[in-house]
Amino acid sequence: MKDILFLLRGDFTKDTIGPFYCPDCIALEGILSYFPELREKINVVYVDYDQPRKALVDVLGEENQSCPALVLANPAQAGGLGITVKKSQFRSFLDDQKDILHYLHQIHGTSRAAS
């Protein structure tokens, strides 16, 4: 099983205005662009802005539909990384962009963000 990264599709409308994109999701798209081999290491799933986001609900439950979200295949790997791992009734996940980027660096070998 692989980690699963959920991202919002770009160019969505919100309250009949837009188009918009999610800044956190677009940053992760940049990482996927810089490190195309990452797409072989993790599964990337795109979801629509409108809720319910069935793909997310199926994995994390109704109460956890925010994006980006990284569902962890092996939550033990995140131990000691200094990131906040959340738990749904089903799975462990990250939903903070900086935590996701740090995890991808530590576990999947991407470069880290310059400070």
Instruction: Return d(Cα 81, Cα 27) in angstroms, integer.
Output: 20
Instruction: Return d(Cα 78, Cα 63) in angstroms, integer.
Output: 22
Q: Where are the domains of the chain?
A: 4-108
* DSSP code at position 64: -
pTM: 0.94
To the question of domain 4-108 being in CATH 3.40.30, the answer is: yes
Instruction: Return d(Cα 30, Cα 35) in angstroms, integer.
Output: 8
* pLDDT tens digit sequence for 97-108: 999 999 999 999
Instruction: Tell me the pLDDT band of 81, cut-offs 50, 70 and 90.
Output: very high
Instruction: Return d(Cα 53, Cα 73) in angstroms, integer.
Output: 20
Average pLDDT, whole number, for the chain? Answer: 94
Query: How many CB atoms sit inside 10 A of residue 43's CB?
Result: 14
Look up residue 103 and give its two tokens: 């995890």
Instruction: Tell me the pLDDT band of 37, cut-offs 50, 70 and 90.
Output: very high
Mean pLDDT throughout 5-27? 92
Look up residue 67 and give its two tokens: 């994006």
